[in-house]
C-alpha cells in the first residue's frame, strides 16, 4: 500500500521580501499541526522562493501537483491559502487533493477539509485573494501612469534609451525604507546610433532578416534586458514600428490577462485608456526617415500580410522575389511554362533552373549557366548603353516631355494642397479643442486626428518641394550630357557589383528558352529580353532632377516600340547540327557518302550520326 506523506508548502512572492519567510512559515505550520495532534517529524517541506502565487509554473508547486496526482500526499499544510496559489484554481486543486485521499489544512485561516463546510471557506478565500491581486494591479498601474504623465520612467524604455535617477540623493533613498527614488529617461547614444542604422538599412531596401543577421554578426549589444544572444527579425520589426523613436511615448497599450492555471497573455487596451506623451527630447528618428520606413513596411504588409479569406498563415510569395539573391533572380523566366527560374549551386557552379521542372509542370531540362548568362548580358548592356542608341534617345525625349508636363502642373497642385492644409489645420484645431475639453472621448476621434496630422505632414513635404519643381527651376540636361552620364553609370555599376546593379536596373524581363536540334534532348540557351530604358535613365540622371518631379512622372510603357527585344545565345549549334538538314537533303538527292564527307569536311562516322539523328526525329526518314 502507498505510504502517504505530510507535506508543508511554503512560498514568498518577491526577492524584495525576507529570505527567512519560508523558514518562518515552516515553523508556524509545524506548531499548528502539532496543536491538531499531528506529528510533523517526517514532514516533507517544499519551498518556492521569490515566486508569484498567480503563476502555476513554479518548481515547488509543480512537484506538489505531481505528488497529488500520484496520490502521495496525505496532509498538505500551508500558512494561508494564498501561499498555495492566488490564481482562481485553489478550490479545484484542493478538491483534487481530497479526491485522492488527502487533507488540506490552512493554519492561519483555520481551514481543514476534515471539517464540514470547508468548500465554502476555500471558495471565499479564493475570491478574496483574486480580488486582492486585481486591486494591487490597479494601484500599481495607477502609480505607473502618474510617472508616465510626469515624463518619468516606469521601465518601459526600449533599445536606444536608458533610465537614470532624477534626485541627487538617490543612494540615500535606496538605503532607507520608503518609496524608491524616481527615475527619468534619456537617449543612450551608443544604442541610438544602431537604431538609426537599422532605419537607414531598411529604407535602403535591405530585408528585416538581413538586418537582424548583420547586427548579430557585428555582435551589437542588445541591452540589459536581453536574455538570449543574437538579434531576431521580430525585434527589428517592433523597432521599425515603435513610435517612441519619434518622440510619441505611448504607454499602456496592453495589459496582462490570466486563466485559472495562472497562464498569462497580453491583450489590447482601448485607446482611450492609453497614455500618449509627446517627448521631443527623446526623438531619435526624424520624420522623413520615419515616413519612408512606414511606407516600405506598408508595401511589405501588402505583399506578405494576411488577406481576407486566406488561412492565418497568409500568402506565400517567394521572398527571393522581393530580396533576390542573384543578379537575375526574379527577372529570369522559363520560355515554356512562364515559371520563374531560380539559382541553384552544384559542384561549385551556379545554374538557373525552372521552378516548374521539380513539380513536373515543365519539361525544360536545359539549365542556364549563371556566370555565362550574367557576364554575357552585362557585356551586351555595356556595349548597348554606351553607344547611346536612337531608341534610348527617344525614351529620354519622352522623359523630358513627362518632366515638363509634371512641372507645368505645379502651380495648380500647389494651390490645391495649400487649400487642403488650411482645411486640415481647421479640423485638427477643432478636434484638439474638443479632446482637451473632454467633449469627445471616442477612440475613433483620436484615430481621425492622427490621420489628419499624418496627411498634413505629407502635404507639407510636397509644398516644400514644389519650389524646386517649377518649369523654370527644372533645368533638363542635353542629350550629350545624358549620354556621358549613362556611360559612366553603366561602367561604374558593372565594375562595382559585377553587373548586378546594371542588370536589375536596365532589364525589365528575361525569358530563357532552349534551342534543341532534332534528335537531341538538350541544346543551348537562348535569352530574349527587353531593356528597361526608363529605369536605366533614372538611375543615371535621377539625382539631377528634383525628387518631386521624379515621383510625379509616370514611366512610359515598357512595351513601347522604341524598346526593342534583344536575343542572346549562350552557345551555338555544333558542326553536326548545322550540317544535318543539308546532309538529309543530299541523301534524298542521291549524293554519295564519299561526296558528302568531302563537302562537309567531317569524317564518315560523324556524317552518318548527324544524318541518322536528324532523320530519326522525323516521321518518315529517307532511305540510306
Domain residue extents for the chain = 5-135, 161-296, 324-408+459-572, 409-458, 575-616
Rounded CA gap, 93 and 90, in Å?
A: 5
**Superfamily per CATH, domain 5-135:** Resolvase, N-terminal catalytic domain (3.40.50.1390)
Q: What is the per-residue pLDDT for 476?
A: 66
Grid cell locating 116: 464540514
Q: What is the per-residue pLDDT for 497?
A: 55
pLDDT along the chain (624 residues), means of 10: 83 78 91 92 90 84 90 92 85 91 92 91 86 80 80 83 81 71 86 92 89 90 76 90 89 75 75 82 90 88 72 60 76 88 86 84 86 88 82 76 72 82 82 67 68 78 62 65 79 68 80 85 86 78 59 49 76 88 90 89 89 74 46
- In sequence order, the 6+-apart residues with CB closer than 8 A to the CB of 359 are none
What SS3 class is residue 185? strand
What is the full DSSP assignment across 412-462?
Answer: HHHHHHHHHHHHHHHHHHHHHHHHHHTS---HHHHHHHHHHHHHHHHHHHH
556 close to 398: Cβ distance less than 8 angstroms:
yes
CATH 3.40.50 corresponds to the domain 161-296: no
342 forms beta bridges with 353
Q: What is the per-residue pLDDT for 45?
A: 93
Which pairs from 417-425 meet CB under 8 Å and 24+ separation? 417/459, 417/462, 417/463, 417/466, 418/463, 420/455, 420/459, 421/456, 421/459, 421/460, 421/463, 424/452, 424/455, 424/456, 424/459, 425/456
Q: What is the per-residue pLDDT for 30?
A: 93
* Predicted TM-score (pTM) of this structure: 0.48
Amino acid at each position: 500500500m502507498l505510504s502517504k506523506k505530510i507535506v508543508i508548502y511554503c512560498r514568498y512572492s518577491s526577492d524584495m521580501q525576507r529570505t527567512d519567510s519560508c523558514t518562518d512559515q515552516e515553523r508556524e505550520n509545524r506548531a499548528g499541526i502539532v496543536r491538531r495532534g499531528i506529528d510533523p517529524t517526517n514532514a516533507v517541506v517544499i519551498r518556492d522562493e521569490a515566486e508569484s502565487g498567480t503563476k502555476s509554473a513554479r518548481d515547488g508547486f509543480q512537484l506538489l501537483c505531481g505528488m497529488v496526482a500520484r496520490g502521495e500526499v496525505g496532509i498538505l499544510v500551508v500558512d494561508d491559502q494564498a501561499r498555495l496559489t492566488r490564481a482562481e484554481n485553489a478550490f479545484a486543486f484542493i478538491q483534487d487533493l481530497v479526491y485522492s485521499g488527502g487533507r488540506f489544512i490552512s493554519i492561519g485561516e483555520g481551514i481543514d477539509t476534515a471539517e464540514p463546510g470547508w468548500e465554502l471557506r476555500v471558495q471565499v478565500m479564493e475570491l478574496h485573494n483574486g480580488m486582492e491581486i486585481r486591486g494591487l494591479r490597479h494601484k500599481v498601474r495607477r502609480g505607473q501612469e502618474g510617472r508616465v504623465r510626469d515624463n518619468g520612467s516606469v521601465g518601459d524604455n526600449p533599445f536606444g534609451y536608458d533610465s537614470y535617477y532624477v534626485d541627487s540623493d538617490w543612494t540615500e533613498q535606496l538605503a532607507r525604507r520608503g518609496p524608491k527614488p524616481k527615475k527619468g529617461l534619456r537617449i543612450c547614444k551608443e544604442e541610438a546610433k544602431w537604431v538609426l542604422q537599422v532605419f537607414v538599412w531598411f529604407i535602403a531596401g535591405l530585408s528585416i532578416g538581413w538586418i537582424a543577421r548583420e547586427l548579430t554578426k557585428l555582435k551589437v549589444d542588445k541591452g540589459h534586458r536581453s536574455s538570449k544572444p543574437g538579434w531576431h527579425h521580430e525585434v527589428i520589426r517592433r523597432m521599425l514600428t515603435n513610435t517612441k523613436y519619434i518622440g510619441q511615448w505611448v504607454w499602456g497599450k496592453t495589459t496582462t490577462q490570466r486563466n485559472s492555471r495562472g497562464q498569462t497573455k497580453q491583450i489590447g487596451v482601448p485607446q482611450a485608456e492609453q497614455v500618449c506623451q509627446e517627448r521631443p527630447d527623446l526623438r531619435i528618428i526624424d520624420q522623413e526617415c520615419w515616413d519612408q520606413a512606414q511606407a516600405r513596411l506598408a508595401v511589405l504588409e501588402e505583399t506578405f500580410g494576411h488577406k481576407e479569406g486566406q488561412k492565418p498563415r497568409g500568402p506565400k510569395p517567394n521572398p527571393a522575389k522581393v530580396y533576390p539573391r542573384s543578379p537575375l533572380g526574379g527577372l529570369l523566366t522559363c520560355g515554356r511554362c512562364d515559371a520563374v527560374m531560380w539559382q541553384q549551386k552544384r559542384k561549385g557552379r551556379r545554374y538557373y533552373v525552372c521552378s516548374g521542372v521539380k513539380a513536373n509542370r515543365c519539361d525544360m531540362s536545359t539549365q542556364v549557366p549563371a556566370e555565362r548568362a550574367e557576364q554575357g548580358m552585362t557585356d551586351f548592356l555595356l556595349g548597348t548603353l554606351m553607344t547611346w542608341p536612337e531608341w534610348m534617345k527617344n525614351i529620354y525625349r519622352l522623359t523630358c516631355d513627362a518632366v515638363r508636363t509634371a512641372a507645368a502642373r505645379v502651380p495648380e497642385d500647389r494651390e490645391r494642397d495649400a487649400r487642403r492644409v488650411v482645411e486640415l489645420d481647421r479640423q485638427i484645431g477643432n478636434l484638439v479643442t474638443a479632446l482637451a475639453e473632454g467633449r469627445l472621448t471616442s477612440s475613433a476621434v483620436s484615430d481621425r486626428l492622427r490621420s489628419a496630422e499624418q496627411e498634413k505632414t505629407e502635404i507639407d513635404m510636397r509644398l516644400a518641394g514644389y519650389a524646386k519643381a517649377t518649369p523654370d527651376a527644372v533645368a533638363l540636361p542635353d542629350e550629350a550630357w545624358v549620354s556621358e552620364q549613362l556611360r559612366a553609370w553603366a561602367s561604374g555599376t558593372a565594375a562595382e557589383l559585377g553587373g548586378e546593379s546594371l542588370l536589375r536596373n536596365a532589364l525589365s524581363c528575361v525569358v530563357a528558352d532552349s534551342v534543341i536540334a532534332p534528335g537531341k534532348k538538350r541544346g543551348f540557351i537562348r535569352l530574349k529580353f527587353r531593356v528597361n530604358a526608363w529605369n536605366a535613365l533614372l538611375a543615371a540622371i535621377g539625382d539631377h532632377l528634383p525628387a518631386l518631379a521624379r515621383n510625379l512622372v509616370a514611366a512610359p510603357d515598357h512595351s513601347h516600340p522604341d524598346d526593342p527585344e534583344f536575343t542572346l545565345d549562350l552557345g551555338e549549334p555544333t558542326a553536326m547540327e548545322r550540317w544535318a538538314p543539308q546532309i538529309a537533303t543530299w541523301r534524298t538527292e542521291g549524293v554519295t557518302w564519299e561526296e558528302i564527307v568531302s563537302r562537309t569536311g567531317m569524317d564518315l562516322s560523324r556524317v552518318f550520326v548527324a544524318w541518322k539523328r536528324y532523320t530519326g526525329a522525323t516521321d518518315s526518314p529517307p532511305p540510306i
